[in-house]
Structure 1
Amino acid sequence: MRAEGTFTTHEFTAIDTTPAFEVRTGTEVGIATMEKRYAGKVDGRSATYFTAAYDQATGIGTYVAMESFDGSLDGVAGTFNFAHLASTLGGDRVDEAFVIVPGSGTGGLTGIGGSGGLTVGADGTHRVWFDYTLGK
């Protein structure tokens, strides 16, 4: 099955963390939390941990996100986790990955598995889709 929707970010808060030891690279790593809200056949909200090594001046970098979703896909309500990552060389997204975390589904979404993706349109609209199955 496929569920598609759009999302907006309603909160983005940087987290001040210090690793066990410092490593200097060409791009600093940052960590933040986010709240996203979804509309469409994907309806609900997510709590997100967002990590990125990104150079704002060049637009080059990579992010990794882990989301906990509470809502519905195609009208079926529940919760689950999903992870995604992508890189950019200053333009289009490359080297993308998107996965629903096995065993994370609850409610009507118990047994969910699959993948998905996201795009950002020229107008700034963020679109997401899940290609998923529901098992028992």
Structure 2
Amino acid sequence: MGGRASGAFEVTAFEPEETDEQPGATLGRVRITKEFTGGLTGAGVVRMLSVLDGAGGPAAYVAVERFTGALDGRQGSFVLQHSAPGSQGERLAIRVVAGTGTGELVGITGVFELEVDEEGRHTYVLEYELG
């Protein structure tokens, strides 16, 4: 069964855990928590590794995020894999990791897209299949 969920999320905590500052790049490890509204209702916990370029601008990141809550009324959890290869126009890729769904979300697969507007508000669209 295919579906589409959309809504917004708010970052409720951004907790740097480790930073490695060297010439040319800063490597970081961060824990982020989020609250989702809309088609996804619940919380996300993100573990992110990031790279800032020598000027302190974002260069790349990878992350895994566990969402726990409801998707269009179905309770459970699943994991998203994030990959942003850089700041030179490359596309951010976020996908549901197959085999991570629990509860009523067992078998979920899909693609998650997010946008951040000029005022810093985050919105998302999740195109998903439940199998």
Q: TM-score range by the shorter chain?
A: 0.7 to 0.9
Question: C-alpha separation between the residues in 1 aligned to 2:120 and 2:54?
Answer: 17
Within a 5 Å distance, the mapping from 1:118-133 to structure 2 comes to 118-133=114-129
What secondary structure, in the 3-state scheme, does the structure 2 residue paired with 1:98 have? strand
Structure 2 match to 1:64: 62
Runs of 5+ consecutive residues of structure 1 not aligned to the other structure: 19-23
Could you tell me how far 1:25 is from its partner in structure 2?
5.9
Shift of 1:124: 1.1
Distance, in Å, in 2 between the alignment partners of 1:26 and 1:97 is: 25
Aligned positions, number: 128
Report the TM-score when normalising by structure 2: 0.86
Amino acid at match of 1:8: E
TM-score normalised by structure 1 residue count: 0.83
CA contact under 8 A between 2:11 and 2:35: conserved in structure 1? yes
State yes or no: 1:116 paired with 2:112: yes
Partner of 1:83: 81
CA distance in structure 2 between the aligned counterparts of 1:59 and 1:83, rounded to whole angstroms: 22
Amino acid at match of 2:4: R
Residues 42-84 of structure 1 deviation map (CA, whole Å, 9 limit, x = unaligned): 1110111011102495534112121001011111111000111
CA RMSD of aligned residues (A): 2.2
Contact 2:23–2:54, Cα closer than 8 Å, also in 1: no
Matched, 1:3 2:2: no
Provide, for residues 100-136 of structure 1, a one-character-per-residue CA deviation record: whole Å limited to 9, x for no partner.
011000111011011121110112111122111001x
Aligned to 2:43: 45
CA offsets 1:29-52 (integer angstroms, 9 cap, x no match): 100111111011111101110111
AA of the residue aligned to 1:41:
G
Q: 1:27 to 1:99 in 2, by over 3 A?
A: same
